[in-house]
A and B are shown apart, each in its own frame.
Chain A
């Protein structure tokens, strides 16, 4: 087990290395002159030269590469072109809202979609099942930001139940914090819920057709016991996988959801950086988001070994 975890940990290194190389070469080999584009439409030659010097683009490529690698290894992601603040500092300042939004969405989505999926599998081809599958198909096609505006229109503007937008840190009290996260979590989570509900249903259907389920039913076990203890546990591996895959969806969705709801997290930071063409910040954010995704995949892979003792690599 330990050997497996260690091996899996080492396997994340090449992935992160590719990500790092990608952001490095993207800036150096982008079509046109990135320094001129970053400096703006009517920048003078000096301004462009200043940006180039700031990004270190005026030095030899090999030197740039080693300097950059060395800094990255020390956790230094460079300095924002606009605010002159360290990218790591900008990112850590904005971390809390994004983590709060991601976790609350994860919670809402998993808590709602797994029961829905189990129900659909249990009542397969009945009305409930059709409704759930219909929701799954629609949820998959609905762009998060459109749904967000529909939710805002009804829950915040028409009925005034929840705030239109904004974010309150948890330090300001639990209800204001939760209140601000409800609509964003639902808007962000719908695609994710559709995905999990669909896989839960499919995986449960497969397990429910097994002999041991018939045996469990035949010996008179209560339905909920059969469904949850015998079936859901054995159906868990694909569900966990898709929960992990879905976190990638959440990370992409965070950028948009934070923009709609005006939440000052990493997503807003990304959008602001793009609009100002602040490449060092964009680069730092890509590394952080990719690392988060790699970490999630690692946790999922390790959890397999616990859930299904047959899985050994």
Chain B
């Protein structure tokens, strides 16, 4: 019997940032943009040079200039400071909706894919929820409660959960019949261990990809809700609220809408690019289809 030689062992690959960026330009681009926005959000009080809530009627509707980088709104509030603080709302909503809906969606998806009895009932409910346009579902919930950030997050999580459940369930169904799952069942592995040890890891890649898309969509829905007057309370400087308050004066002061609007578009773009990049990297089967 010959000894096993170490010839085939590859030298440990050194992590090179330059190579990583060259291989995944979209991930790098999206991540850098998103990181920049997170920095802006976290350090908002240091970046904003003036109080975003301060009303100064003398300075109303001033165009962008050296004094007011992004101009002022109809109350003389500084749009730059408000936009900087607005990053916080978008990021909090985007990240928490992604987190909560992934957690709930993962749990339900695993159960549905694995236990046929649960599947019938839960999937009927998910189909029903999917039939309601997400903005309307959120609006209905908000009509019945007092506006707050928490309610807005909840109102966006509910319509996003079915999207995660479907992705996770599809993965579970496809690996359920794999021989290694069958042999685990034959070997007497308990359901909980089987789900957590053997099934769960397979769902993670599509789950991460899907949750970035959920994050982007949550940011858009939050801004839309605020824009319609059904989002976070109007005094909170969210991008949707800044745009909503600029509507009346749009023709003479377009910056009140365009600047927060561009920030929103760039943020959503960053998250989507990150999602596309992660999908190409983590889920090549899906990537080939698009």
Complex Cα gap A271–B227 (Å): 10
Tell me if A30 counts as interface (CB < 8 A to partner B).
yes
Tally A-B pairs: CB < 8 A: 156
From B254, which residue of chain A is reached at the shortest CB distance? A153
- Interface flags for B36-53 (1: CB within 8 Å of A; 0: not) read 000000000000000000
Q: Which of A11-19, A102-110, A169-177, A179-187 contacts B (4 or more CB under 8 A)?
A: A11-19
C-alpha gap A91/B145 in the complex (Å): 24
A149 contact set on B, CB distance < 8 A: 243, 250, 254, 257-258, 261
Stretch at the interface among A1-9, A58-66, A224-232, A285-293: A285-293
Please tell me the size bucket of the interface on A: 35 or more
Q: A198-B290, A282-B143 are in contact. Are A274 and B230 (CB under 8 A)?
A: yes
Residues of A within 8 A of B248 (CB): none
Are A27 and B228 interface neighbours, CB within 8 A? no
Q: With contacts A37-B144, A146-B257, A274-B229 known, is A252 near B265, CB below 8 A?
A: no
Tell whether, in the assembled complex, residue A277 and residue B143 are in contact, meaning their CB atoms are under 8 Å apart.
yes
Asked if residues A142 and B127 are in contact (CB atoms below 8 Å), the reply is no
Q: A30-B144, A282-B143 are in contact. Are A143 and B268 (CB under 8 A)?
A: yes
Nearest to A152 among chain B residues (CB) is B250
Cβ–Cβ contact A14 & B258, under 8 A: no
Q: Which residues of B contact A16 (CB under 8 A)?
A: 128, 131
Tell me, in angstroms, the Cα distance from A83 to B37 when the chains sit together. Answer: 45
B224 contacts A by Cβ under 8 Å: yes
A221 partner residues in chain B, CB cutoff 8 A:
none
Which DSSP category, helix, strand, loop or mixed, fits chain B's interface?
Answer: helix
Interface size on B, residues (CB 8 A): 47
Task: Tell me if B208 is interfacial: C-beta within 8 Å of chain A.
Answer: no
- Chain A residues numbered 47-83 whose CB sits less than 8 Å from any CB in chain B: none
Complex A-B: 28 CB contacts under 8 Å: A14-B124, A14-B127, A22-B132, A30-B144, A30-B145, A32-B145, A34-B144, A38-B143, A141-B268, A145-B261, A152-B250, A251-B136, A252-B133, A252-B224, A255-B133, A255-B136, A271-B229, A274-B143, A274-B229, A275-B230, A278-B143, A279-B140, A279-B144, A285-B136, A286-B136, A286-B140, A290-B131, A290-B132
